[in-house]
């Protein structure tokens, strides 16, 4: 158990390092781009990227299959089965990458007619769509090697490659913007970063797993069927997530304006960063849950749920409460005071939805690991449909606030009506026990922090970013102390031994 905790801890830390670097870049790069490009050009850039990102769905859940079957083959020394599964996924992805490029050609033609793009930016927008489509096609095909690195639990190497790719991207973007270039030049930088990152990941995967044999021949139908039977529901979850979290910018662009996308995306991006922080943690729960399930270790599976849910809430709740109570102040000192009111309101609405959805992220990862994600996929698709419909209806009347409310309402319904019952079936835990031992204590623990944050926002609003950071750091103990007291037994039993084992191993 402690060995597994050590592996999970290392994976989480590696993922967090990559994500921390990405968030730091976004933190400093976003205001730089907004002010250098202007609201209209930046809004068009967000629309183009968001539109092309929908084609990520063409992955069809293949990455999940690569991770599962390559990991299984590597562990059991069945390198032939691992090679066959990987080659099948690569073959499918190559076909899908060709389809993706064709679809981007179609999107290039209709993009200015779907969104309210200023006439002076139409040509640039169309070029950006093509270049971003090419970047995604490269990541989808050659990038399948990233699944091999993850399957072998080498998140440290995965993070190294991701950091190199991020560095190439940032250096290029800053250079072209300082040279007075626009969104087309930024898209070229994204393409260069995608090529370098994908090729490096392929090299690392080949060195890690030399026994993996790659064939570009059409795979056997039985192999494709096996992979698809697992990935189809992972694909449906991907579809739902894409609609729920990427559609908003498109709805704003189609029914409000391109400039309004800038105001919406600022608030939305902060929520997505918080979500990525939690996902970077809970992604490592999927292989752990698969191991426990295969061994019939129900006790460890339940412990993983309890510990994972507590950890995700302890990490996300102070961030979300800060975004709700002081988000407008943060945006004012980060991007500019002209964005505080509109973007801050959007941020508060979306962060409220995450307060109830992020605690269920651990359960979702466990469901994927033990192949019980079929029901999750159905509910996620339902949420996506309601989300999109409500966002369109409310956008016409309330603008960007209506789009945010259209995301909030179905999220609350799903997380209140579905997950309480499903957790009981997933890990055999009565949800009343979860409320009493996890949700209840953590919500009570964050209440004093929320009150203090609100009072600071009213009476001591920060004028600079450094002041905001210092205020937040001073408030954090108000949350940390009650949480530490409530879960002191778990800290002594799980966290401290895990850290001790980690440091002991590093010392050796």
DSSP of 281-311: HHTTHHHHHHHHHHTT-HHHHHHHHHHHHHH
* Tokens, residue 235: 């694909």
Backbone Cα Rg of the chain: 23
> Of 430, 304, 407, whose CA–CA distance to 349 is shortest?
407
Measured between alpha carbons, how far is 378 from 360 in angstroms, rounded to an integer?
A: 16
Which residues make Cβ contacts (< 8 Å) with residue 474, sequence separation at least 6?
none
> Of 277, 281, 325, 285, whose CA–CA distance to 302 is shortest?
285
* Tens digit of each residue's pLDDT, the chain (508 residues): 444 555 555 666 666 677 777 777 877 787 888 888 888 888 888 888 888 887 877 776 677 777 767 877 777 788 888 888 888 888 888 888 889 889 888 888 888 887 777 888 888 888 888 999 999 898 888 878 887 887 777 777 888 888 888 889 889 989 998 888 888 999 999 999 999 998 999 899 888 888 888 888 887 887 777 777 767 777 788 778 878 877 888 888 888 887 888 899 889 989 988 888 888 778 777 767 776 776 777 888 888 888 888 888 988 999 999 999 999 999 999 888 999 999 999 999 999 999 999 988 888 888 877 778 778 888 889 999 999 999 999 998 899 999 999 999 999 999 887 887 788 778 888 778 888 888 888 899 899 999 999 999 999 999 999 999 999 999 999 998 888 777 766 555 544 444 444 344 444 4
What pTM, to 2 d.p., does this model score? 0.70
Based on the number of CB atoms within 10 Å of its own CB, is 222 exposed (0-12), middle (13-18) or buried (19 or more)? Answer: exposed
Which residues make Cβ contacts (< 8 Å) with residue 433, sequence separation at least 6?
none
Q: Give the number of C-alpha atoms closer than 13 A to the C-alpha of residue 390, restricted to the C-beta side.
A: 19
Distances (CA, A) of 216 to 85, 94, 314, 387, 475: 12, 9, 46, 40, 56
Which residues make Cβ contacts (< 8 Å) with residue 347, sequence separation at least 6?
266, 267, 268, 270, 271, 323, 324, 327, 328, 331
Element (H, E) at 124: helix 122-141
Distances (CA, A) of 212 to 77, 166, 198, 204: 11, 28, 18, 12
Residue whose entry in the numeric block shows the structure tokens 């979850």? 237
Using the CB atoms, write b or e for 358-371: b if 16+ within 10 Å. Answer: bbbbbbbbbbbbbe
pLDDT digits (tens, 9 = 90+) for 356-391: 999 888 888 888 777 787 788 888 899 999 999 999
Dihedral pair phi/psi, residue 460, rounded to 5°: -135, 50
- The per-residue pLDDT for 496 is 44
* Tokens, residue 164: 């190199």
Measured between alpha carbons, how far is 42 from 266 in angstroms, rounded to an integer?
A: 11
């Amino acid at each position: 158990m402690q060995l597994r905790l050590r592996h999970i801890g290392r994976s989480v830390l590696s993922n967090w390092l990559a994500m921390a670097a990405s968030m730091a870049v976004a933190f400093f790069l976003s205001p730089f781009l907004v002010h250098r490009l202007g609201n209209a050009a930046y809004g068009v850039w967000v629309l183009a990227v968001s539109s092309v990102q929908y084609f990520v769905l063409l992955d069809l859940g293949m990455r999940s299959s690569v991770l599962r079957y390559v990991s299984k083959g590597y562990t059991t020394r069945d390198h032939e089965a691992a090679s066959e599964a990987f080659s099948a996924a690569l073959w499918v992805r190559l076909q899908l990458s060709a389809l993706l490029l064709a679809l981007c050609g179609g999107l290039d033609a209709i993009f200015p007619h779907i969104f309210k793009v200023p006439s002076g930016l139409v040509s640039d927008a169309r070029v950006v769509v093509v270049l971003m489509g090419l970047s995604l096609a490269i990541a989808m095909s050659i990038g399948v090697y990233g699944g091999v690195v993850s399957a072998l639990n080498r998140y440290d190497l995965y993070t190294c490659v991701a950091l190199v790719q991020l560095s190439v991207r940032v250096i290029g973007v800053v250079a072209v913007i300082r040279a007075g270039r626009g969104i087309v030049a930024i898209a070229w930088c994204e393409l260069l970063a995608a090529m370098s990152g994908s090729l490096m990941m392929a090299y690392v995967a080949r060195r890690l797993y030399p026994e993996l044999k790659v064939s570009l021949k059409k795979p056997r139908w039985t192999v494709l069927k096996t992979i698809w039977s697992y990935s189809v529901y992972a694909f449906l979850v991907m579809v739902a997530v894409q609609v729920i979290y990427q559609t908003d910018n498109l709805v704003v662009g189609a029914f409000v304006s391109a400039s309004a996308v800038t105001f919406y995306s600022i608030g939305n991006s902060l929520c997505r960063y918080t979500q990525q922080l939690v996902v970077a943690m809970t992604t490592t729960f999927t292989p752990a849950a698969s191991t426990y399930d295969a061994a019939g270790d129900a006790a460890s599976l339940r412990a993983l749920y309890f510990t994972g849910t507590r950890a995700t809430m302890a990490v996300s709740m102070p961030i979300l409460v800060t975004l709700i109570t002081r988000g407008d102040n943060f945006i004012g000192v980060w991007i500019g005071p002209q964005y505080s009111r509109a973007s801050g309101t959007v941020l508060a609405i979306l962060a409220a939805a995450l307060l109830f959805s992020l605690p269920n992220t651990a359960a979702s990862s466990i469901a994927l690991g033990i192949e019980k994600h079929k029901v999750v996929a159905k509910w996620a698709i339902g949420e996506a449909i309601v989300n999109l419909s409500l966002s369109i209806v409310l956008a016409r009347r309330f603008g960007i606030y209506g789009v945010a409310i259209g995301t909030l309402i179905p999220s609350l319904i799903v997380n209140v009506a579905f997950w309480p019952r499903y957790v009981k079936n997933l890990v055999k835990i009565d949800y009343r026990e979860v409320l009493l031992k996890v949700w209840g204590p953590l919500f009570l623990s964050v209440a004093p922090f929320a009150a203090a944050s609100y009072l600071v926002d009213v009476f001591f609003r920060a004028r600079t970013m450094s002041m905001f950071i210092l205020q937040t750091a001073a408030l954090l103990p108000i949350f940390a102390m009650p949480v530490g007291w409530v879960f002191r037994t778990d800290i002594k039993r799980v966290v401290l031994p895990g850290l001790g084992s980690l440091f002991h191993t590093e010392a050796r």
